[in-house]
Structure 1
Amino acid sequence: MNSRIQNFTGLAWIIIFIFFSKAPHFSLSDPRIFEAGLLCGKPPPVPNSSYIPVFVEEMRSLSQRVTADDWGNYTVHSADFSIYSLAQCHSDLSHDDCLQCYAASRTRLPHCLPSASGRIFLDGCFLRYDNYSFFDERTDPVWDKVNCNSTVGVGVGVDVEFGKNVAELMDNLTAAAVSNRGHAADGIKGVFGLAECWKTLTGDGCRECLAKANREVKTCLPSREGRALNAGCYLRYSTVKFFSNQSEDSNRNSGVTKTGTSIAIALSVAFFCMVSLFAGYASYGRWKRRKQRRSNLGRISYSYNKSNLNFKYETLERATNYFDGSRKLGQGGAGSVYKGTLSNGQTIAVKRLFFSTRQWVDEFFNEINLISGVEHKNLVKLLGCSIEGPESLLVYEFVPNKSLEECIRNKAKILNWKERFNIIVGTAEGIAFLHGGCSSRIIHRDIKSSNILLDENFNPKIADFGLARCFAADKTHLSTGIAGTLGYMAPEYLVKGQLTEKADVYSFGVLVLEIVCGRKNNAFEEDSGSLLKTVWKLYKTNRLTEAVDPLLKGDFPSMETSKVLKIGLLCTQASVAQRPSMEEVVRMLVNENCEIPEPNQPPFLNSMVSADSGQSSYSTNSSSSNTVKKLGDRYSSAESSSIQSCDL
């Protein structure tokens, strides 16, 4: 729903832009809609479903101020977030050109969504939104940029005289802009330039911003053109005169009053046409959405469509008391989960996706396709879904004792040894079933304590298959983008993006150590070392039982706990080949007479990477981040091969 609002609003602004670009101009000036820079912040881990409608309202209010004054700032606050925005046209633009430039910036800036911040520099205007008050921000050491790409031809080579002219002009402009309410435009000896400060800055703020811009834009030499794009100002030089002279514009516009009546009539007709177009588009949009829903449903298997798994959105709304906050069970990387009760009394869990981007859609259908036909006592059962409402919903069986993470991190319940052992065995059996017991080989990719749910008897059920992948039996690995949770991700997958079942084995090994030791694995913990390092040190000194959760107060079988910890270390070995399969893990856990090999040292990520120990799931299309580069030399990767994954 949010994306449809965004698309509709974007189309509206495109129509406005087309109208202004095709309508008769009363000035020979150029709206200068060349994109000098588009800077987007990082998307939030959990996009808020109400963000887009608020963003649209923010831009609508900002547009009114720009229409009235050629600039404006606006702020809106909600319970969960705030949006601050600023738009300003360069002072030399005519009002019509300003509206054209703003319309162009308004259609491009939403490309930053769902990020909570974005700014766009066009050669004639500036537009920015953010989650904090930036109105008096002069410079930004992170986001201030220089654009030296020339739109007027190739560089002029090493020309000392040209450089002197640019330097002289930039110095003159920065001084003139400070004394002229933040704007100056001039040219000398074949070089032209413009300086513009945002109107929310003080005189001192403008001076500071332009001083930095002056220093930085000169680094573009010997380019024929350069732009400094700072938080509080814009500075440009060029060998082509690109700005407008207000006196010339005034003469050109002297005849405007003579055609005022014609203009009013033309604008009225244009407005009527736009309203008609909007109405037609709305009707077309409703038809297209219905068609898209039918198409989306077609992506799900035939057996699923013919079953009773397709819930009505209104039914799930009523079941959760319209997603009442008191019904919220938890929140993950893809959405919030609510407890619901159907009309027949059945208790369910409803997963509500946050944002209708392609990523979420892919994960939604991926989860449906993978587990709708897969049943096992240690896998959360998918009961159905809804894609007919404003957001996508997944319906699962209700698991009353929440997640294993609640027991480990929040100590919601102190699990005795028998319960812990059963959770370990059940989780191992569930993963082994995914790897070889069902019709497709499925790799979960995000095995962790928050994705292990506990039923009324504290039996484990693996949940959240949005990141899971399946592949043919004759293939050895997938080459894919990284997705998972730091601290649980296998090193060869983190480094090369090469995915095998052994990635799940590694994650399971970390989980085993967490369950037995009663603490989370912080991969980058510097003080006491990561959980893997702690257990490994105790293993090397024959003191494994010291790693067991002290809350058990010694009430556990020492031989069995040592055996389980040893299996956990086996699963987390750096070498892929030396890790056991999940089938072998199950056999080692349940068979008392099974011989357990001696493990080798696991990888200690905290000694190789300096980073935050965040535990949220994420995905990326590249494995070349700084973190991965630092790890790359520590592991050898298997030979790459192409693979065809299951259809989503």
Structure 2
Amino acid sequence: MEEVSKRVKEFHWGSNSIVLSKPHVFTYAQCYGFLSHEDCLACYNETRTKLPKCLPNNSARIYLDGCFLRYDTYSFFTEALNEKHDTVKCGLPTDVSKDKYIEVEFGKRIDQVVRNVIDTAVANEGYALKGGRGGVEAVYAMAQCWKTMDSKRCKECLFDAGSKMRQCAPATDGRAMNAGCYLRYSTEKFFSNGPVGESKFVPNSSKVGIIIAGVLSAIALFMLALFGSLLGYKRISLKKRVQNNLTSDLAPMSESNLNFKYDILEKATNSFDESRKLGQGGAGSVFKGTLPDGRIVAVKRLLFNTRQWVDEFFNEVNLISAKDTVHILNWKQRFDIISGTAEGLAYLHGGCGEKIIHRDIKSSNILLDENLIPKIADFGLARCVGSDNSHITTGIAGTLGYMAPEYLVRGQLTEKTDVYAFGVLALEIACGRKNSIFAEGSNSILLSVWKHYKADNITESIDPSLKRGYPVKEVSNVLQIGLLCTQSSHALRPYMSEVVQMLTNEEYVIPLPTQAPFLNASILGSGSNDSNGSSARTSNSNWQTTTELSYYYSDHSSTEQLTTEVYSFHTAESTTISSVGSNSPC
């Protein structure tokens, strides 16, 4: 092992064989291409500590997230496949498995990234990194052949590993561990941001190895003699900078109740026992621990001491420590978000050549970029309506509290369905609180704004955190537009193109709302009814709450009733009826 250690320290891989006496012993170790020199040595030393657990077996393989070690009684250096010992390990399923269509798309993404990383590795002398973003989920992959594999054996090994690992989809992580290569994909980025390794294959010949070692040693001595003082200065500067960065990272934690000594955490997790392990990520493992005072905590243990993962770790700690920090948008930012969302919906309803109805407009589906510019997201429930159709009839799907009454009752889907949801969203943004489908009386945001409107003091509904720092006329217009959009009769609601004019044209005369907004429901208990014409009854099971709701609303002169059953309430405030995706609606 000492000969292998020397080669790993110098080349990041090494092999050795002892054949003078029986049993013969052949040993091989290699670090993956994305590891730095320090991380490579740390990983290799970790495999050395695990090696005694494999004895007295005649053969063993040790795969870690950054390196590989193997010994056997025969020469396996050019062995690409071993049907007896080659294996695949899959992680836990992702949330995408809840929706069959999204699961298929996620499987395609995994297959694409795995194919790309294999093709690149074969062309890049046995090593490649790949990552795919966008769509349903980001996927990262790495392919690594052992240095003793020629191009043909490397290709054979990786193709076999790829075909086996595809069975892991839709798991979050998959690893194929063959005799001659290692292949992995994950939804978490498990490698550093460095360039793709381009290390050349070094033939496994002792003479060639001696020549290369001699040349490299001579070059190293020459470089050390020439640049010794400069490198020494840089190392000292780097050490000081790392110490300063670490001090600044630790400063916010000095008075935090999240600051523990290592031995306390080690005892809490029973020396990081595998039975306490909760999960494995790209940066390390998470363990369940019990503190001396009885508190249950989750302890993350970093895999390697790299700056990237240290930064991510402290960023996570700082986010947890600052959990009470509140970021409040001013009125101009809120108005720009409302206006931008209106313009986006107007474009979907006719500006793009197709009439696209989103069906799930809500606060969590409006994404903001670094400039707080709104982007409408999540088109998994969207539908296209032909220009010659006034509406389509479909099964209801969406989020309670944002669904228009004619859609909830009859399944009648028009662009006015999105107009209603936009009205609820605009009132939520202006009032600074979420619309509750279970609120009673004045606790309903729609009813509260309507009452203030009828009492001619509509600005009393505005978010009190704004502290009068807003233009009264503009605020009144937004609240009035929200009431116009949430009227029970869809015929009374404006089109989104008209809403854009109301928001952007100061000369535009905004109509007055004539009908109270539609209120979804109130949860009053089994068999009870309220004055708003809604009733509900609930029952509990082991994993969900099933609620039966009755809705009444007035559309012109008719009154209709619908009983909708079996809704799974994930939270007390919002209920998503259907899974969503990110594919084209048309």
- With normalisation by structure 1, the TM-score equals 0.35
- With normalisation by structure 2, the TM-score equals 0.39
